[in-house]
Amino acid sequence: MSTLYYYHEKFLNHLTGDGHPESPDRLLAIDSALQSASFSSLTRKAPKISPRIEELLRLNHTQALIQQNLQKPDEGQILPIDADTQLSPGSAMAAQLAVSAVCDAVDQLIAGAAENAFCAVRPPGHHAEPGRSMGFCLFNNVAIAALYALRQYALKRVAIIDFDVHHGNGTQTTFEKNPAVLFASSHEMPNYPGTGFASETGMGNIINVPLKTGTNGAELRRLYNEKIFPAVRKFKPELMLISAGFDAHKDDPLGGIQLVEADYAWLTGEIKKIAKEVCEGRIISVLEGGYQLKALANSVQAHVLALMR
């Protein structure tokens, strides 16, 4: 069974301004890294905007937020949504393609066309709340994919694992009262956005594992083995989603966690083991953070190689 790789050049047209860490260069670095012979067996897909895109967006977002994010600024203009989040003339198309990509990945995996997928999309999504875009994120790609899988295919249980260095506050907000979704997050605290305390448990379906600045791979592995992986196995999801942020790498400028490429390979391999046990291997990994280009590219290589094994 193949691994799908979603990428589109129009993701590069979401512009954030000079010096912004969430730049098009991130995807250029990733796509270049995935061109080597080691990745020749990837099934490469350029997403198309779904004819049902507004219906997909409404699964998670208010009409006011959808209208805000689908506006098209004048050419050359960058419109601030908040201090970190911007709209450019190409942002609406990029954001719709990102949502369409993750939902197409759901379709492909449920149909048995592939075992897993890596969606190299931007803008990222896990900070976007139902009614608020923030933290570089316009629409919550992973949350929409989970809600789509539940509604379109009548799945009963979906698990989301978020290993970005920042807490996925938007994803938690969406699912804290929805026991059909297990949301498990490891993230540095204190760090943006200030949520993700261990005491935030939703309906028992939210697992937050705050990490102290300086946490290394050995400690992270212990915490996942003790707190996250047993809960995911017990939950027995029918589909697993990953908010794949690579900004917990030791070289990333936006975090203080000390992971290296081998830690991402281990995390991915362990998630894949669980997926094979409980949901026929179905994993959709969706890019979130990662801002040091070499560390990002190398970490994505390790992650995708583990998905392909």
Residues in the chain: 309
127 is catalytic: yes
Pairing, β 181-188 against β 158-162: parallel
Which of the residues 8, 61, 127, 303 is marked catalytic? 127
The mean pLDDT value of the chain amounts to 98
- Model confidence at 85, pLDDT cuts 50, 70, 90, reads very high
- pTM comes to 0.98
pLDDT tens, residue by residue, 33-76: 999 999 999 999 999 999 999 999 999 999 999 999 999 999 98
Looking at residue 186, what is its pLDDT? 98
Query: How many percent of the chain have pLDDT more than 70?
Result: 100
User: Which domains, ranges and CATH numbers included, belong to the chain?
Assistant: 3-308 (3.40.800.20)
Q: Is the pLDDT of residue 1 over 90?
A: no
Tokens 């290589």 sit on residue:
301
Looking at residue 30, what is its pLDDT? 98
Looking at residue 281, what is its pLDDT? 98
> What number is the average pLDDT over the span 124-148?
98
Q: What residues are paired with 43 via a beta bridge?
A: 4
